[in-house]
Amino acid sequence: MAGGTSLIMAYDGNSSGANASTNFSSTAQSFFTFSGCLEGSNSSYAASSESTQQIPFPAGVMSNLWCRVITAATSSSTVVLRKNSSNGNETFSIGANQTGAFSDNSDTDTINSGDLLDVGIMPGSTALDVTIIAATFTASAHTSTVLASVNLLTSGNLDSNTHFNCPVGVTMFNASESANTSEANSKNRQRKAMTASNLFIQIIQAGGGNPVTFRSRKNAANGNMVISASASQTGLLQDTTSGHTDSLAVGDDFDISYQYSVGSGTTAQVLQGCWLTSSNGDSIYSCANDQGTSFNTSVTAYAGLSGGLEVTQTSETNAQVTVNSAFTFSQLLANVISNSISSASTLTLRANAGNAGSVAVSIGANSRGVFLDTTDTYTASTTDAMNYKLATGSTGTSISISHLSVWGNISAQVATGRKYQHFDARPNRILSQQYNPFGSSNQMVIFG
């Protein structure tokens, strides 16, 4: 199959504080990850250090660089795609005192396999707040979704237990939480057949004297991808070994684990992720927090299609992304890790502030586990602004959700160009009149 299209997206709903989406401390250029949770500009992420935000991509073409601004800067701001620490072709300006969606719909960037991508933002003032960065990625072969999850701390004392991470969104822990040891929280249940490859990790602080091992996980067992980091290693580490891939079937659970060899360590795993490849035009969009995000009763909350779930929006516009491609969306999913709400809650896929057809999931009273809509689909237009909506039940206490997911599909396109049709050369009759074909080989050829 020729290259397929996916939406690459980073989202974070928090507009201020330690987990801010884009909490600028100065008007100097800051750098942001291109997939997963949109963290980076606060000092704990050292966003002035571009390498901590870079993600390796497969070969393809990037287009339609896009962002959503929810708080305006007092002067003009600039957004640019960055490739291997240099400016790419795609860039746009955000005018002073302007909010909303902004994009570059004319330029493209050619990506070679292994190129490191991120996004640079030069804010017009520190007031600028961006909740979503996105772009369209057309892989050179098949359809590739690049998943990445973000660590909320630069360091933390970790024991020698096995810890589990979402492959997308927000992972590990923050100041008030423990590292995740429940694999049920982090697993991403596959609804389309894909191949996982190129496990990658960004480490900005060495392991406190202890080696650490990162692995892919499939159905609660070790997968084929592995990265072993020494006690002193930092920077980008990747498993590109031939044969180190995981074939994921419909219904498989997939996540990432890490474990120190002895004692505890302080590795700061700023970014981690992998490539998911489909030969059928499928791509995955997941908004996740492996600690679980808690919602009280009678809440209406909105979240971006892909990124961090730790904070949601009360304004739907702030969570909307323009998909820029005619995806067919299906297999809406919610992973509920605890639920004391005693009436049904509903997750809905949304388009242009309305329901996206009938794509929705009902979460029963006090029910937990993985909930799916296996039947309904929605075909988007290129201009659709899409997101998730969660409406919790009215009685009981609270519900905790670790991720929301949906799958998009753009099937292979039929090749265009000249078409040729050959006709049998033997004499025939039309309205009882005999005719003879022409051509040196007794063929009549139609060009169209």
Per cent of the chain over pLDDT 70 is 79
Same-domain pairing of 375 and 435: no
Q: What is the pLDDT of residues 202-232, one digit of tens each?
A: 887 766 667 888 999 999 999 999 999 888 8
Number of domains in the chain: 2
Residue 100 within any structural domain of the chain: no
Residue 181: its pLDDT value, please? 80
Residue 314 within any structural domain of the chain: yes
Among positive and negative, which fits the CA dihedral 329, 331, 334, 340? Answer: positive
Same-domain pairing of 365 and 292: yes
Same-domain pairing of 436 and 321: no
Q: What is the pLDDT of residues 14-38, one digit of tens each?
A: 544 334 456 687 898 888 888 877 7
More confident residue, 352 or 158: 352
More confident residue, 257 or 17: 257
Place of tokens 């809406």: 332
pTM of the predicted protein model: 0.87
Angle among Cα 146, 72, 11 to the nearest 5 degrees reads 20
156-160, 275-279, 283-287: segment of lowest average pLDDT: 156-160
Contact 4, 412 (CB under 8 A): yes
More confident residue, 262 or 187: 187
Residue 260: its pLDDT value, please? 76
Residue 324 within any structural domain of the chain: yes
Residue 349 within any structural domain of the chain: yes
Same-domain pairing of 441 and 340: no
Residue 319 within any structural domain of the chain: yes
Could you tell me whether strands 5-11 and 36-37 are parallel, antiparallel, or unpaired per DSSP bridges? Answer: parallel
Is the per-residue pLDDT at 175 higher than 70?
no
Residue 137 within any structural domain of the chain: no
Same-domain pairing of 446 and 392: no
Is the per-residue pLDDT at 182 higher than 50?
yes
Angle among Cα 302, 308, 311 to the nearest 5 degrees reads 50
User: What mean pLDDT is predicted for residues 423-429?
Assistant: 44
Same-domain pairing of 384 and 303: yes
Residue 24: its pLDDT value, please? 80
Residue 112: its pLDDT value, please? 97
Same-domain pairing of 429 and 358: no
Same-domain pairing of 347 and 429: no
Same-domain pairing of 405 and 363: yes
Q: How confident is the model at residue 290 (pLDDT cuts 50, 70, 90)?
A: confident
Same-domain pairing of 394 and 423: no
Residue 160: its pLDDT value, please? 73
User: Letter for the amino acid at 246?
Assistant: D
User: Letter for the amino acid at 191?
Assistant: R
Residue 387 within any structural domain of the chain: yes
Same-domain pairing of 432 and 401: no
Residue 355 within any structural domain of the chain: yes
CATH code, 343:
2.60.120.40
Same-domain pairing of 447 and 343: no
User: What mean pLDDT is predicted for residues 422-445?
Assistant: 43
Burial 402-426 (b: 16+ CB within 10 A, else e): bbbbbbbbbeeeeeeeeeeeeeeee
Structural domain span for residue 424 = 417-448
